[in-house]
Structures are given as C-alpha cells and as structure tokens.
Amino acid sequence: MANVKLVNIIKSYDGKTDVVKNVSFEIRDKEFVVLVGPSGCGKSTILRMIAGLEDITSGDLYIDNKRVNDLLPKDRDIAMVFQNYALYPHMTVYQNMAFGLKIKRIPRKEIDRRVRRAADILEISYLLDRKPKAMSGGQRQRVAIGRAIVRDPKVFLFDEPLSNLDAKLRVQMRVEMQKLHKKLQVTIIYVTHDQTEAMTLGNRIVVLKDGKIMQIGAPMELYNTPDNMFVAGFIGSPPINFIHGEIRKKEALVFTDTGMEINLGLLHNEAINNYVNKKIVLGIRPENIHHIPHDKSSRFAKISITISAVEQMGNEMLVYANLDKLQMIARLPSDSTLEADQLTELYFDTPKILLFDPENGNVIK
Amino acid sequence: MKIIKKTLFYLILVAAALSFIYPFIWMMMASLAPEQEIGKLVIFPSEFTFDNYVSMFSKIPIGRALFNSLFVSTINTGLTLVFASMVGYALSRMRFRGRNTIFFIIIFTMSLPFQITLIPNYITMVKLHWVDTYLSLTVPFMITAFAILMFRQAFKGLPQALIDAARIDGCGELRIVFTILWPNIKPTIITVGILAFMASWNEVIWPLIVIREEQLMTLPQLVTLFVVGGRAESQLGVKLASAVFLATPVIIAYLFFQKHFIQSMASTGLKE
C-alpha cells in the first residue's frame, strides 16, 4: 500500500480557466480520504488525474513517493470504481474481474485464485457466470469493487460509487465499504457529493469548492470547527443556520433586522473585539438550539421567535422558525410540544456558536 | 370504419411490397424459363430449365468473377470496419485540435457525387501503376465517410466510463476499440458491414474504368459487359441468369442480418 501526494496540482481544459486551482494535500498510507463538494468543484477531475485519465496541467503527483504524472493509468498501480459501474456488458462477472489481470499476463491459476478470493470477500461467488445486465445495481457495484480488489492495487479510487443505488442499499453499502476498508487495509480515495457519505466513511475529508480546497480534516473536526461558512454549510444535515447581525458593543450581537440582542460573553472569543460595530454572521447548528435549556445558567441565549413549520421525524422534531427573513431550523426532541404559528422562546447554546466574517466567509477565532 | 381503414392500409402495404418484390421474383423465374417464354411475362413457365445458367457459365468466366467480387468485397468490408471504427473512435472519444473540422470535412465528402472524384482517382491509380490490379479495387474503398459517421455515433452512445475502465485495466486504444467497444455496437458493425459489402459488390463504374483484364473483373462488371456488350447474343434468359447470380449473395446476406440492419438504421438518428 502507499501514500498519495498532490503538489500544486492545476488542471485547465482550455488553457484559460483552471478547474482545479493549485491543490496540494497528502493521503497517508491506508487512509480513507473522501473528496467532497458540490458538482463542478473539481473533485472528480482530481480523482481522474490521480487515475491518469486526465492530464495534469501543472504540478506533481506522487504515488508511493514516485512521481507518476507521465505514467499511463495501467502503470500507476491503482484501481478505480465508477459511478455507473462500467462493467464490460459482453463479459461475465468472472471475465470482467479477470480481464485486467489477463492483460497483465498473470498466470491463469493466479487469476482464478484472486477472482475467487475477491468474490468470496464480496459474497458474489454465485454471480460469477452472470452478465452485468442480469444483475441488480447493488450486485453490479459489488462486481465493480471486485474488479478493483483483484488488481491488488496500491490505491483504490472510488468515483461516487453509491450514487446510482437506492437510499436503503446506499446505507447498506456504506457500512460494507467501511468493513472492506478495515479488512483490506488499503489506501482509499473516495469522491462524493453526499456529505453523509463523507462523514460516515472518511478518516479525513477534503472539502472542495470551485477547484479549491476549503478545508481538510477529520469528520468531526470539520463539523465542529469549520474554517469557513462554506464548510460549515456543506457539512451537516439539516444544515447550519446562518444569521446576519452586527456586534454593537463588546460581547453582544444584535441581529440585523429584528434588533434582537444576544450575549456572546460565554464564547470566549477574543477575536470578536476586532469586529465591534462591524457586520458579522452567526452560525449555529440545529441541534444546538433548544426549546428548554438544560440548566438556568447564562450559557443559553434566549430568543423569541415564531414557529413557521414543524416536521415530526419520529426520533426527532425539526422546527422551522423565521428570523431576520431567514428560515432557521432547530432539531428538538420528538416529544417537544411545539406547533406551527406558535410564538415561543428558543435557546442558543452560546459556547457552540460560530462566528464568521461576512466579507471573506472565514471563521472568526 | 376501423376495419375498413385497416384493410385499406394493408392493401396499400401489400401492393407496395408486391411492386418491389415482383420484378425480382419474375427475374428469378424467367431465368429458369425457356427463352421463348420469357417475353410472356408469366411467373410460372411451362417447364423449368437450367439452360440459361449452363450457357452463362460457358460464355463468360463467371466463376472467376464471382471469386474476384467475393475477394474484393470481403477485403473492402473488413478494412472499412477496421479503419472506419478507428477514425470514428478518434473523432468521438479523443480530444485534439481540429477534431470537429476534420469531422465536417469528412461529412462534406458524402455530398460529393462519385463522378467528381472519378477522374482524379483514376489518374492516381495510373500514376501508382495500380490499373489492372486488385489494389485499384480495394484501396480506394478501404474507408467511407458514411462508415465513419456510423461508428462515431455508435461510440458516442457508449459511456465514457467503459473506456476509462479499460484504460485502467491496461488496454491501449486499439484494444479498447476492438475488444471492449466492438462487442457493444454489434448492430452498427453489421449494418456498416452489409452496406460496405453491398456497395463494393454492386460497384460497376469504377471496375469498368480501372480493370480491363477479364481475369480480374468483378461480377457486376463482367455481367454488365456481358449483358450490354453483345456477348449474350440477345438471349434474354442468359442475361437474367447472370443478373440473378449477381443479386443472390447480397440478398442472402441481407436476409441473414436484416434484424440487426433495421435496428441499427433506426437508431442512427437517435444516438447523440
């Protein structure tokens, strides 16, 4: 197994606009790294450059400390699983899995051993004689993973492999991906636009936007301490609430439209002193807003608000309220007694509040 | 009302089908009829005879011409499939400067009548000393714009991931085209194959220009010379026998592949 290092990688198709802008990061040996971001952020392009399916416009790419910019995909010792499986329709599962090894002129006995082992791991031995069209999406995806496993590569690349599966199967395959990583102990680079997949699968997550890295970190690090509004808004479902306001006097924030004031003294954020009389964005995750505060301490900042809608999920209740023309979501216990159009009080858990500079979107800390 | 409509519909269809098939059936039957009965235009003659065929074989080296035609058409079909799919692949899947311009130039050549290129091509053949050789019958027909167009469209209809997967598996471009993509565009291969074979098989003017030696003549060329050149001695039956002999292989091929043929022709307009 191996590490993968990207150094100042740039990709441009037309020589004018860069779709990947000076990206550098390292994926450690046996690490499961997820590249996540909205469509068009360059995540698939980065993966395809690592695979060798796209040329690198400038920068250096290292796999196992060897520069591979000019190597063909087959010589990079990688395997890739595609969103639409990309199984060869005219070949059986066995032939699909064996094809790459056959081209490498690996002895037939060894091919057979590897194919059967991979089939065993993925529990698809009974499918070996079938053709792709006679299988379900989930089965095809397993075969595609099997085709990657038999190559015994240094790095596995996954390009949105679960996007074509239905919701239930996706959850199941997510768990299996984790197990597979544990079992195979391999380096995996996984591309997805689904932040849930990123949070549940990755050892580390690379968040991308417009071809730039927004933040790299462990899932909970991104969740709790995002570097900027984009990461804060992208990670987490339902998304974080952003509320615009102004620091009128030290340690107190006044919301722009309603003029409501909350005390930020408990944030212990020295940096806000530089923002007195300046505009600011407050970010608070839905689960950090409460209907009934845990205790009477000043940790909870009270706001009066009207509920616009309530979604009862069974295990929790999503409460929508309007504040400063913005819709705010709170995640409350399912037994909360709140109804639409009700005027109520909600409590922000002050130490969990994040503050952002509205000009550059960066977190204030 | 519905039944009348349907009946009328079928009557028109049957009439149209008959008008297409009748001349061919008549030609086959007449080639087996005695010479004096051919002029009566009947379908079933009073007796069947192979005299016309026997006479045809004795008058012209039709066996040799059959071999020439089969040889030339097979080579042309094979080469067209190979080269047109390579070009079609490049035009649909490779990124290079001028790709679309090249494609439009190729398409433009489809609108040029054969007659325009006839003389320049003939001069080229003379300069290359290819007149009266198989090369003059094969090399100019190794690839056609239509075949390129068909392959380009067929390859465009396949997912890019299939090619990416093959590349990661270690395939070069040629292996991608012939091992991975070809098995997935069978209807196109069959259609292009049949059309290329028929075009080559039915070509008359070009062989008449570049081949003078009887041993190298193709079947349509020989039959044409035979029928209009006076060697059939005004015997209609012998002329018809040679025409049947000429048409049969292509018809057999068409019947054999017609399902794929229609499927591919129907889909060419849709895959983009």
H or E stretch at A138:
helix A137-150
* More confident call, A325 vs B110: B110
Phi, psi of B236 (to 5 degrees): -65, -40
Question: What is the rounded distance in angstroms from the CA atom of residue A12 to the CA atom of residue B122?
Answer: 48
Compute the nearest-CA separation of B107 from chain A (Å).
26
Residue A250: partners with Cβ closer than 8 Å, 6 or more residues away: A272, A273, A276
Of A74, A82, A99, the CB nearest to B161: A82
In a domain, B54, yes or no: no
Measured between beta carbons, the chain B residues lying within 8 angstroms of A84 are 159, 161
Question: What is the rounded distance in angstroms from the CA atom of residue B143 to the CA atom of residue B80?
Answer: 5
Using the predicted structure, report yes or no on whether residue B265 has a pLDDT greater than 90: no
- Same domain for B119 and B10, yes or no, is no
CA-based nearest residue to B62, from B209, B248, B253, B200: B248
* More confident call, A267 vs B203: B203
CA-based nearest residue to B201, from B170, B222, B173, B177: B222
In a domain, B259, yes or no: yes
- Same domain for B133 and B221, yes or no, is yes
Radius of gyration for chain A, computed over Cα atoms and rounded to the nearest angstrom? 25
Of B164, B170, B175, the CB nearest to A82: B164
Chain B touched by A293 (CB under 8 Å)? no
- CB neighbourhood size of A297 (10 A): 9
Compute the nearest-CA separation of A199 from chain B (Å).
26
Phi-psi region of A67 (alpha: psi -120 to 50; beta: other; left: phi over 0): beta
CA-based nearest residue to A189, from A11, A39, A73, A48: A48
The CA–CA distances, whole Å, from B236 to A41, A226, B20, B61, B221 equal 75, 92, 21, 19, 18
Using the predicted structure, report yes or no on whether residue A97 has a pLDDT greater than 50: yes
First to last CA, chain B: 41
Using the predicted structure, report yes or no on whether residue A177 has a pLDDT greater than 60: yes
Using the predicted structure, report yes or no on whether residue A44 has a pLDDT greater than 50: yes
Q: Supply the pLDDT for residue A225.
A: 93
In a domain, B55, yes or no: no
Residue located via tokens 């606009």:
A17
- Same domain for B83 and B197, yes or no, is yes
Residue B171: domain span: 60-270
CB contact under 8 A, A103 and B168: no
Phi-psi region of A112 (alpha: psi -120 to 50; beta: other; left: phi over 0): alpha
Give the residue from A44, A63, A88 with the most B CB atoms within 10 Å of its CB, the best one to mutate: A88
- Same domain for B21 and B135, yes or no, is no
In a domain, B104, yes or no: yes
- Same domain for B167 and B83, yes or no, is yes
- Same domain for B1 and B102, yes or no, is no
For A228, which DSSP code?
B
Using the predicted structure, report yes or no on whether residue A49 has a pLDDT greater than 90: yes
Using the predicted structure, report yes or no on whether residue A130 has a pLDDT greater than 90: yes
- Same domain for B43 and B74, yes or no, is no
A156: nearest CA partner in chain B: B168
Using the predicted structure, report yes or no on whether residue A256 has a pLDDT greater than 70: no
Mean pLDDT of B126-144: 94
First to last CA, chain A: 38
Q: Supply the pLDDT for residue A324.
A: 65
Q: Supply the pLDDT for residue A275.
A: 81
Mean pLDDT of B235-241: 85
In a domain, B121, yes or no: yes
Position B195 confidence tier, pLDDT thresholds 50, 70, 90: confident
Supply B67's token pair. 């071999």
Between A29-33, A241-245, B79-83, the lowest mean confidence (pLDDT) is in: A241-245
Between A30-34, A139-143, A290-294, B232-236, the lowest mean confidence (pLDDT) is in: B232-236
Chain A touched by B269 (CB under 8 Å)? no
Give percent of chain A above pLDDT 90: 60
In a domain, B77, yes or no: yes
In a domain, B166, yes or no: yes
Structure confidence by residue, pLDDT tens digits, A56-92: 999 999 999 999 999 999 999 999 999 888 999 999 9
Compute the nearest-CA separation of A44 from chain B (Å).
12
Domain count, chain B: 2
8 Å CB contact between B203 and B220: yes
Structure confidence by residue, pLDDT tens digits, B32-83: 888 888 877 777 888 888 888 888 888 888 889 999 999 999 999 999 999 9
Compute the nearest-CA separation of A203 from chain B (Å).
26
Residues of A (137-156) whose Cβ lies below 8 Å from B: 147
- Same domain for B5 and B125, yes or no, is no
Q: Supply the pLDDT for residue A258.
A: 65
- Same domain for B34 and B75, yes or no, is no
At B79 the three-state DSSP class reads: helix
Strand partners for A279: A246
- Same domain for B206 and B101, yes or no, is yes
Q: Supply the pLDDT for residue B108.
A: 93
Supply B156's token pair. 């465009």
Using the predicted structure, report yes or no on whether residue B268 has a pLDDT greater than 60: no
In a domain, B23, yes or no: yes
Using the predicted structure, report yes or no on whether residue A96 has a pLDDT greater than 90: yes
- Same domain for B87 and B36, yes or no, is no
Of B161, B162, B170, the CB nearest to A74: B170
Supply A248's token pair. 């009128």
For A33, which DSSP code?
E
B171: nearest CA partner in chain A: A103
Mean pLDDT of A27-49: 94
Which residue type is seen at A259?
G
Q: What is the CATH number of the domain that holds B183?
A: 1.10.3720.10
- Same domain for B45 and B88, yes or no, is no
